Protein backbone atom coordinates (compact mmCIF):
# COMPACT_ATOMS: atom_id res chain seq x y z
CA UNK A 1 0.00 0.00 0.00
CA UNK A 2 3.04 2.25 -0.14
CA UNK A 3 3.75 3.86 -3.44
CA UNK A 4 6.29 5.45 -5.61
CA UNK A 5 6.85 9.05 -6.43
CA UNK A 6 9.17 10.25 -9.13
CA UNK A 7 10.48 13.54 -10.45
CA UNK A 8 9.66 14.88 -13.88
CA UNK A 9 7.72 17.74 -15.43
CA UNK A 10 4.37 16.59 -14.02
CA UNK A 11 5.77 16.22 -10.52
CA UNK A 12 7.29 19.68 -10.71
CA UNK A 13 4.01 21.27 -11.78
CA UNK A 14 2.11 19.45 -9.10
CA UNK A 15 4.52 20.51 -6.40
CA UNK A 16 4.53 24.15 -7.51
CA UNK A 17 0.75 24.13 -7.66
CA UNK A 18 0.66 22.65 -4.19
CA UNK A 19 2.72 25.50 -2.88
CA UNK A 20 0.52 28.14 -4.46
CA UNK A 21 -2.74 26.51 -3.44
CA UNK A 22 -1.70 25.95 0.16
CA UNK A 23 0.23 28.99 1.28
CA UNK A 24 -0.52 28.29 4.92
CA UNK A 25 0.48 25.51 7.24
CA UNK A 26 -0.58 22.19 5.97
CA UNK A 27 1.35 19.04 6.20
CA UNK A 28 0.46 16.94 3.19
CA UNK A 29 1.50 13.36 2.77
CA UNK A 30 2.29 12.80 -0.87
CA UNK A 31 1.92 9.22 -1.97
CA UNK A 32 1.60 7.66 -5.34
CA UNK A 33 3.24 7.39 -8.68
CA UNK A 34 3.03 10.47 -10.86
CA UNK A 35 3.76 9.06 -14.31
CA UNK A 36 5.85 10.85 -16.84
CA UNK A 37 4.04 13.37 -18.93
CA UNK A 38 2.89 11.81 -22.19
CA UNK A 39 1.37 13.72 -25.06
CA UNK A 40 -0.15 10.59 -26.56
CA UNK A 41 -3.58 9.20 -25.93
CA UNK A 42 -4.54 11.33 -22.96
CA UNK A 43 -8.21 11.41 -22.31
CA UNK A 44 -9.78 14.47 -20.80
CA UNK A 45 -11.42 13.72 -17.49
CA UNK A 46 -14.79 15.21 -16.77
CA UNK A 47 -14.26 18.05 -14.31
CA UNK A 48 -14.89 16.91 -10.73
CA UNK A 49 -18.26 18.11 -9.51
CA UNK A 50 -18.77 19.24 -5.96
CA UNK A 51 -21.27 17.01 -4.10
CA UNK A 52 -24.58 18.75 -3.41
CA UNK A 53 -24.76 18.01 0.32
CA UNK A 54 -22.76 20.02 2.82
CA UNK A 55 -19.69 18.55 4.48
CA UNK A 56 -19.38 16.48 7.59
CA UNK A 57 -15.70 15.70 7.39
CA UNK A 58 -13.73 16.49 10.49
CA UNK A 59 -10.18 17.76 10.45
CA UNK A 60 -10.43 19.74 7.24
CA UNK A 61 -7.43 21.60 5.93
CA UNK A 62 -7.07 25.11 7.26
CA UNK A 63 -5.83 27.46 4.60
CA UNK A 64 -4.69 29.97 7.18
CA UNK A 65 -1.90 27.82 8.54
CA UNK A 66 1.48 27.62 6.77
CA UNK A 67 2.84 24.62 4.94
CA UNK A 68 5.00 22.90 7.50
CA UNK A 69 6.04 19.56 6.23
CA UNK A 70 5.91 17.00 3.48
CA UNK A 71 6.34 13.29 3.53
CA UNK A 72 7.39 11.81 0.24
CA UNK A 73 7.88 8.22 -0.59
CA UNK A 74 10.35 7.85 -3.45
CA UNK A 75 11.36 4.63 -5.13
CA UNK A 76 12.19 3.74 -8.73
CA UNK A 77 9.01 4.25 -10.76
CA UNK A 78 8.23 0.75 -11.97
CA UNK A 79 5.81 -0.12 -14.70
CA UNK A 80 5.68 3.17 -16.57
CA UNK A 81 6.77 3.90 -20.09
CA UNK A 82 10.11 5.33 -19.07
CA UNK A 83 10.90 4.40 -15.50
CA UNK A 84 13.10 6.87 -13.72
CA UNK A 85 15.68 5.68 -11.26
CA UNK A 86 14.67 7.80 -8.36
CA UNK A 87 16.84 8.06 -5.33
CA UNK A 88 15.58 10.11 -2.39
CA UNK A 89 18.35 12.66 -2.90
CA UNK A 90 17.38 13.13 -6.56
CA UNK A 91 13.75 13.73 -5.60
CA UNK A 92 14.85 16.04 -2.82
CA UNK A 93 16.98 18.11 -5.20
CA UNK A 94 14.16 18.34 -7.73
CA UNK A 95 11.74 19.29 -5.03
CA UNK A 96 13.90 22.10 -3.71
CA UNK A 97 14.66 23.33 -7.21
CA UNK A 98 11.07 23.64 -8.39
CA UNK A 99 9.84 24.91 -5.09
CA UNK A 100 12.76 27.30 -4.68
CA UNK A 101 12.76 26.25 -1.06
CA UNK A 102 15.52 25.78 1.38
CA UNK A 103 15.17 23.24 4.16
CA UNK A 104 14.93 25.99 6.75
CA UNK A 105 12.09 27.78 5.00
CA UNK A 106 9.91 24.86 4.13
CA UNK A 107 9.85 22.89 7.31
CA UNK A 108 10.52 19.19 7.59
CA UNK A 109 10.57 17.17 4.41
CA UNK A 110 11.14 13.49 4.80
CA UNK A 111 11.64 10.92 2.12
CA UNK A 112 11.10 7.26 2.51
CA UNK A 113 11.09 4.15 0.40
CA UNK A 114 9.12 1.23 1.73
CA UNK A 115 7.75 1.60 5.24
CA UNK A 116 5.90 -1.10 7.15
CA UNK A 117 3.18 1.36 7.90
CA UNK A 118 2.21 4.88 6.95
CA UNK A 119 -0.20 5.01 9.86
CA UNK A 120 1.76 7.61 11.77
CA UNK A 121 2.33 9.82 8.72
CA UNK A 122 -1.34 9.63 7.81
CA UNK A 123 -2.29 10.46 11.39
CA UNK A 124 -0.30 13.70 11.23
CA UNK A 125 -1.35 14.65 7.70
CA UNK A 126 -3.82 17.39 6.89
CA UNK A 127 -3.98 16.43 3.24
CA UNK A 128 -3.19 13.25 1.37
CA UNK A 129 -2.39 13.19 -2.31
CA UNK A 130 -2.20 9.63 -3.54
CA UNK A 131 -2.54 7.43 -6.55
CA UNK A 132 -5.98 5.91 -6.89
CA UNK A 133 -5.15 2.41 -5.71
CA UNK A 134 -7.83 0.80 -3.58
CA UNK A 135 -5.54 0.24 -0.59
CA UNK A 136 -4.30 3.84 -0.56
CA UNK A 137 -7.82 5.22 -0.88
CA UNK A 138 -9.20 3.04 1.88
CA UNK A 139 -6.38 3.73 4.30
CA UNK A 140 -6.52 7.51 3.88
CA UNK A 141 -10.30 7.70 3.96
CA UNK A 142 -10.52 5.53 7.05
CA UNK A 143 -8.22 7.99 8.80
CA UNK A 144 -10.75 10.71 7.88
CA UNK A 145 -8.17 12.64 5.88
CA UNK A 146 -9.00 14.93 2.98
CA UNK A 147 -7.90 12.96 -0.03
CA UNK A 148 -7.07 13.82 -3.59
CA UNK A 149 -6.18 10.94 -5.89
CA UNK A 150 -4.16 11.13 -9.06
CA UNK A 151 -5.20 8.44 -11.48
CA UNK A 152 -2.55 6.34 -13.13
CA UNK A 153 -4.13 6.25 -16.57
CA UNK A 154 -1.52 3.88 -17.89
CA UNK A 155 -2.29 1.08 -15.49
CA UNK A 156 -4.43 -1.78 -16.70
CA UNK A 157 -6.98 -0.10 -18.95
CA UNK A 158 -7.22 2.91 -16.67
CA UNK A 159 -9.10 0.83 -14.08
CA UNK A 160 -8.27 3.27 -11.26
CA UNK A 161 -10.76 5.71 -12.80
CA UNK A 162 -13.78 3.54 -11.84
CA UNK A 163 -13.11 3.60 -8.12
CA UNK A 164 -12.03 7.25 -8.10
CA UNK A 165 -15.20 8.30 -9.93
CA UNK A 166 -17.45 6.33 -7.59
CA UNK A 167 -15.80 7.61 -4.42
CA UNK A 168 -15.95 11.15 -5.77
CA UNK A 169 -19.64 10.67 -6.68
CA UNK A 170 -20.24 9.52 -3.10
CA UNK A 171 -18.52 12.70 -1.92
CA UNK A 172 -15.41 11.20 -0.31
CA UNK A 173 -12.52 12.51 -2.37
CA UNK A 174 -11.37 14.55 -5.36
CA UNK A 175 -9.68 12.96 -8.35
CA UNK A 176 -7.61 14.13 -11.26
CA UNK A 177 -4.81 13.12 -13.58
CA UNK A 178 -1.26 14.29 -13.32
CA UNK A 179 -2.01 17.05 -15.82
CA UNK A 180 -5.10 18.36 -14.02
CA UNK A 181 -3.65 18.17 -10.49
CA UNK A 182 -2.42 21.78 -10.38
CA UNK A 183 -5.85 23.12 -11.36
CA UNK A 184 -7.61 20.86 -8.86
CA UNK A 185 -5.35 21.85 -5.99
CA UNK A 186 -6.21 25.48 -6.59
CA UNK A 187 -9.96 24.94 -6.78
CA UNK A 188 -10.81 22.09 -4.41
CA UNK A 189 -12.81 22.68 -1.28
CA UNK A 190 -12.34 19.98 1.31
CA UNK A 191 -15.25 21.20 3.38
CA UNK A 192 -17.51 19.55 0.82
CA UNK A 193 -16.14 16.06 1.46
CA UNK A 194 -18.05 13.52 3.51
CA UNK A 195 -16.83 10.93 6.00
CA UNK A 196 -16.21 7.47 4.59
CA UNK A 197 -18.13 4.68 6.33
CA UNK A 198 -16.01 1.72 7.46
CA UNK A 199 -16.20 -1.60 5.65
CA UNK A 200 -17.78 -4.63 7.32
CA UNK A 201 -15.47 -7.62 6.99
CA UNK A 202 -17.43 -9.44 9.69
CA UNK A 203 -20.19 -9.94 7.12
CA UNK A 204 -17.70 -11.82 4.95
CA UNK A 205 -16.58 -14.11 7.80
CA UNK A 206 -20.17 -14.78 8.88
CA UNK A 207 -21.15 -15.63 5.30
CA UNK A 208 -18.17 -17.92 4.82
CA UNK A 209 -18.64 -19.72 8.15
CA UNK A 210 -22.23 -20.44 7.17
CA UNK A 211 -21.59 -21.71 3.62
CA UNK A 212 -18.62 -23.92 4.52
CA UNK A 213 -20.43 -25.38 7.52
CA UNK A 214 -17.98 -24.30 10.19
CA UNK A 215 -19.34 -25.24 13.58
CA UNK A 216 -18.97 -22.80 16.44
CA UNK B 1 -9.15 -47.35 -39.62
CA UNK B 2 -10.72 -49.43 -36.89
CA UNK B 3 -8.04 -48.20 -34.51
CA UNK B 4 -8.77 -44.55 -35.31
CA UNK B 5 -12.46 -45.05 -34.67
CA UNK B 6 -11.78 -46.67 -31.33
CA UNK B 7 -9.48 -43.81 -30.35
CA UNK B 8 -12.06 -41.22 -31.36
CA UNK B 9 -14.76 -43.02 -29.40
CA UNK B 10 -12.50 -43.23 -26.35
CA UNK B 11 -11.64 -39.51 -26.60
CA UNK B 12 -15.34 -38.70 -26.90
CA UNK B 13 -16.16 -40.79 -23.86
CA UNK B 14 -13.44 -39.09 -21.83
CA UNK B 15 -14.70 -35.65 -22.90
CA UNK B 16 -18.25 -36.55 -21.86
CA UNK B 17 -17.02 -37.90 -18.54
CA UNK B 18 -15.02 -34.70 -17.86
CA UNK B 19 -18.02 -32.54 -18.76
CA UNK B 20 -20.22 -34.53 -16.38
CA UNK B 21 -17.61 -34.23 -13.62
CA UNK B 22 -17.35 -30.47 -14.24
CA UNK B 23 -21.12 -30.15 -13.91
CA UNK B 24 -21.08 -32.18 -10.68
CA UNK B 25 -18.30 -30.03 -9.20
CA UNK B 26 -19.85 -26.67 -10.21
CA UNK B 27 -23.39 -27.28 -8.96
CA UNK B 28 -24.25 -25.96 -5.49
CA UNK B 29 -23.37 -28.27 -2.61
CA UNK B 30 -24.85 -28.38 0.85
CA UNK B 31 -22.45 -27.20 3.58
CA UNK B 32 -20.57 -30.09 5.18
CA UNK B 33 -20.35 -29.57 8.95
CA UNK B 34 -16.71 -29.26 9.98
CA UNK B 35 -14.50 -27.78 12.65
CA UNK B 36 -11.75 -26.40 10.49
CA UNK B 37 -10.83 -25.70 6.90
CA UNK B 38 -7.45 -25.18 5.31
CA UNK B 39 -7.12 -22.18 3.10
CA UNK B 40 -5.09 -21.35 0.02
CA UNK B 41 -4.84 -17.60 -0.50
CA UNK B 42 -3.76 -16.18 -3.85
CA UNK B 43 -2.02 -12.87 -3.20
CA UNK B 44 -1.52 -10.56 -6.16
CA UNK B 45 0.65 -7.48 -5.97
CA UNK B 46 0.22 -4.50 -3.67
CA UNK B 47 -3.43 -3.56 -3.46
CA UNK B 48 -4.72 -7.10 -3.96
CA UNK B 49 -2.64 -8.35 -1.03
CA UNK B 50 -3.79 -5.51 1.19
CA UNK B 51 -7.43 -6.21 0.41
CA UNK B 52 -7.19 -9.93 0.89
CA UNK B 53 -5.43 -9.55 4.24
CA UNK B 54 -8.31 -7.35 5.34
CA UNK B 55 -10.72 -10.13 4.41
CA UNK B 56 -8.62 -12.64 6.35
CA UNK B 57 -8.35 -10.50 9.48
CA UNK B 58 -11.89 -11.28 10.39
CA UNK B 59 -11.78 -15.02 9.72
CA UNK B 60 -11.59 -17.24 12.76
CA UNK B 61 -8.64 -19.52 13.51
CA UNK B 62 -10.71 -22.41 12.22
CA UNK B 63 -9.46 -21.40 8.77
CA UNK B 64 -6.06 -23.02 9.01
CA UNK B 65 -3.55 -24.00 7.91
CA UNK B 66 -3.34 -20.99 5.59
CA UNK B 67 -1.14 -21.25 2.53
CA UNK B 68 -0.27 -18.26 0.38
CA UNK B 69 0.71 -18.06 -3.26
CA UNK B 70 2.65 -14.99 -4.34
CA UNK B 71 4.77 -14.07 -7.35
CA UNK B 72 8.43 -14.83 -6.74
CA UNK B 73 9.36 -11.17 -7.32
CA UNK B 74 6.71 -9.90 -4.93
CA UNK B 75 8.75 -9.23 -1.80
CA UNK B 76 6.34 -6.62 -0.55
CA UNK B 77 3.48 -9.09 -0.39
CA UNK B 78 5.73 -11.65 1.30
CA UNK B 79 6.61 -9.07 3.91
CA UNK B 80 3.00 -8.04 4.48
CA UNK B 81 1.85 -11.64 4.78
CA UNK B 82 4.63 -12.49 7.23
CA UNK B 83 3.67 -9.51 9.37
CA UNK B 84 0.05 -10.56 9.23
CA UNK B 85 0.77 -14.16 10.21
CA UNK B 86 3.28 -13.48 12.94
CA UNK B 87 0.68 -13.80 15.71
CA UNK B 88 -1.39 -16.59 14.28
CA UNK B 89 -0.95 -20.33 14.80
CA UNK B 90 -1.64 -23.19 12.40
CA UNK B 91 -4.00 -26.09 12.73
CA UNK B 92 -5.98 -28.55 10.59
CA UNK B 93 -7.31 -29.51 7.09
CA UNK B 94 -10.25 -29.09 4.66
CA UNK B 95 -9.83 -27.10 1.49
CA UNK B 96 -10.65 -23.69 0.14
CA UNK B 97 -9.06 -21.29 -2.29
CA UNK B 98 -9.60 -17.60 -1.54
CA UNK B 99 -8.65 -15.02 -4.12
CA UNK B 100 -9.50 -11.48 -5.09
CA UNK B 101 -8.54 -10.88 -8.65
CA UNK B 102 -4.90 -11.02 -9.68
CA UNK B 103 -4.38 -12.92 -12.92
CA UNK B 104 -2.31 -15.48 -11.05
CA UNK B 105 -5.42 -16.81 -9.35
CA UNK B 106 -6.98 -18.17 -12.54
CA UNK B 107 -4.62 -21.14 -13.06
CA UNK B 108 -4.73 -21.84 -9.30
CA UNK B 109 -8.52 -21.99 -9.32
CA UNK B 110 -8.57 -24.14 -12.43
CA UNK B 111 -6.15 -26.54 -10.75
CA UNK B 112 -8.44 -26.63 -7.72
CA UNK B 113 -11.38 -27.33 -10.00
CA UNK B 114 -9.44 -30.11 -11.67
CA UNK B 115 -8.94 -31.84 -8.33
CA UNK B 116 -12.69 -31.96 -8.02
CA UNK B 117 -13.24 -33.10 -11.61
CA UNK B 118 -10.77 -35.94 -11.13
CA UNK B 119 -12.51 -36.91 -7.92
CA UNK B 120 -9.42 -36.29 -5.78
CA UNK B 121 -10.79 -33.54 -3.54
CA UNK B 122 -13.59 -31.00 -3.59
CA UNK B 123 -12.00 -27.58 -3.11
CA UNK B 124 -14.28 -24.65 -2.37
CA UNK B 125 -13.38 -21.66 -4.54
CA UNK B 126 -14.26 -18.27 -3.08
CA UNK B 127 -13.64 -15.22 -5.26
CA UNK B 128 -14.03 -11.71 -3.87
CA UNK B 129 -13.90 -9.07 -6.61
CA UNK B 130 -11.68 -6.17 -5.63
CA UNK B 131 -13.34 -3.03 -4.33
CA UNK B 132 -11.75 -1.12 -7.19
CA UNK B 133 -14.13 -2.90 -9.57
CA UNK B 134 -17.27 -0.79 -9.36
CA UNK B 135 -19.06 -1.27 -12.68
CA UNK B 136 -17.10 -3.88 -14.57
CA UNK B 137 -15.59 -7.16 -13.51
CA UNK B 138 -11.88 -7.73 -13.93
CA UNK B 139 -10.82 -10.30 -16.52
CA UNK B 140 -10.12 -12.81 -13.73
CA UNK B 141 -13.58 -12.08 -12.38
CA UNK B 142 -15.25 -12.68 -15.72
CA UNK B 143 -13.54 -16.06 -16.00
CA UNK B 144 -14.03 -17.18 -12.43
CA UNK B 145 -17.63 -15.98 -12.20
CA UNK B 146 -18.58 -19.24 -13.87
CA UNK B 147 -16.09 -21.46 -12.08
CA UNK B 148 -16.16 -20.33 -8.45
CA UNK B 149 -18.47 -21.62 -5.75
CA UNK B 150 -19.02 -18.18 -4.26
CA UNK B 151 -18.48 -14.99 -6.21
CA UNK B 152 -18.63 -11.92 -4.01
CA UNK B 153 -18.91 -8.34 -5.29
CA UNK B 154 -18.62 -5.15 -3.25
CA UNK B 155 -20.75 -2.65 -5.19
CA UNK B 156 -24.49 -2.78 -5.88
CA UNK B 157 -23.93 -1.95 -9.57
CA UNK B 158 -22.13 -5.27 -10.02
CA UNK B 159 -24.80 -7.15 -8.12
CA UNK B 160 -27.37 -5.74 -10.54
CA UNK B 161 -25.32 -6.84 -13.52
CA UNK B 162 -24.52 -10.25 -12.04
CA UNK B 163 -27.54 -11.30 -9.98
CA UNK B 164 -25.98 -14.67 -9.16
CA UNK B 165 -23.12 -12.99 -7.32
CA UNK B 166 -23.14 -12.46 -3.56
CA UNK B 167 -23.32 -8.89 -2.27
CA UNK B 168 -22.53 -8.29 1.40
CA UNK B 169 -21.80 -4.57 1.15
CA UNK B 170 -18.23 -3.36 1.44
CA UNK B 171 -16.21 -5.96 3.30
CA UNK B 172 -12.75 -4.40 3.26
Question: What pLDDT, on a 0 to 100 scale, did the predictor assign at position A157?
Answer: 66
Looking at residue B60, its pLDDT comes to 86
CA angle, B68 then B71 then B77, to 5°: 65
**pLDDT number for residue B88:** 54
- Within 8 A by CB and 6+ apart from B29, the residues are B122, B149
Q: How far apart are CA B172 and CA B169, in angstroms?
A: 9
Helix (H) or strand (E) holding B42: strand B39-42
The answer to whether B88 touches B64, Cβ cutoff 8 Å, is yes
Topology of the domain comprising B32-167: Rossmann fold (3.40.50)
Cβ contact A127:A26 at 8 Å: yes
Which of A114, A165, A210 is opposite residue B76, by nearest beta carbon? A114
Report the residue from B31, B55, B58 with minimal CB separation from A212.
B31
- Contact status, residue B128 vs residue B154, Cβ threshold 8 Å: yes
Architecture of domain A12-20+66-74+87-215: 3-Layer(aba) Sandwich (3.40)
Whether chain B has a CB inside 8 Å of the CB on A113: the answer is no
B39 by DSSP, 3-state: which?
strand
Q: Which of B57, B79, B172 has its CB closest to that of A138?
A: B172
Q: Which residues of chain B have pLDDT under 70?
A: 87-94
Distance CA B110, CA B116 (A): 10
Is residue B71 a contact partner of residue B104, using CB atoms and an 8 Å limit?
yes
Provide the 3-class DSSP secondary structure of residue B93.
coil
Domain boundaries, chain A: 12-20+66-74+87-215
Q: What is the pLDDT of residue B86?
A: 72
* Closest CA–CA distance from residue A91 to any residue of chain B (Å): 22
- Look up the pTM and report it: 0.63
What's residue A11's pLDDT? Answer: 42
What string of pLDDT tens digits covers the 216 residues of chain A? 223 333 344 444 444 444 444 444 444 555 543 333 333 333 333 333 333 333 333 333 333 333 345 555 544 333 334 333 344 454 445 445 544 444 454 455 566 656 667 778 788 777 788 878 888 888 889 888 888 888 766 666 667 788 999 999 999 999 987 777 767 777 778 888 888 998 899 999 999 999 988 866
Subunit contact A208:B128, Cβ cutoff 8 A: no
pLDDT of residue A34: 35
How far apart are the C-alpha atoms of B22 and B100, rounded to whole Å?
22
Contact between B171 and A215 using a beta-carbon 8 Å cutoff: no
Q: What is the pLDDT of residue B152?
A: 96
Calpha distance A38→A125 (Å, rounded): 30
pLDDT of residue A29: 54
Nearest to residue B108, comparing CAs of B42, B46, B64? B42
Amino acid sequence: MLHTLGPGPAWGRAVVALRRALPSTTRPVLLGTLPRRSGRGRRALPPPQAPSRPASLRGTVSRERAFSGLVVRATPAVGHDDPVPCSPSLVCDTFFRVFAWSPSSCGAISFTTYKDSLKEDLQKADLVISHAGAGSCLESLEKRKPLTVVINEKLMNNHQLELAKQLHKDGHLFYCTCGTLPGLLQSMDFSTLKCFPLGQPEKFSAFLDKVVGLQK
Amino acid sequence: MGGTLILAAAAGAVAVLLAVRLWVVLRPHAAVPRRSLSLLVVAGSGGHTTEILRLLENLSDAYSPRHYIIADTDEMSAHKINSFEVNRADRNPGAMVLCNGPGTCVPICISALLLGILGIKKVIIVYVESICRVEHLSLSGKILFHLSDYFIVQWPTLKEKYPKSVYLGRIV
